[in-house]
Amino acid sequence: MFDDALEVEDFPVSGLELIPNSDTARLDWMILRDYPSDMSTEDKAFTLQAERENIDTFIRLDAEQQGAAA
| pLDDT tens-place string over residues 28-54 | 999 999 999 999 999 999 999 999 999
pTM listed for this prediction: 0.62
**Residue range of the domain that includes 58:** 40-69
Whether residue 26 lies inside any domain: the answer is: no
> How confident is the model at residue 13, as a pLDDT?
62
Whether residue 8 lies inside any domain: the answer is: no
Whether residue 47 lies inside any domain: the answer is: yes
**Alpha carbons 13 and 26: distance in angstroms, whole number:** 26
Whether residue 21 lies inside any domain: the answer is: no
pLDDT tens-digit series, residues 52-66? 999 999 999 999 998
Whether residue 62 lies inside any domain: the answer is: yes
Whether residue 53 lies inside any domain: the answer is: yes
pLDDT tens-digit series, residues 1-33? 555 666 656 666 666 566 778 888 899 999 999
Q: How many domains does the chain have?
A: 1
Whether residue 30 lies inside any domain: the answer is: no
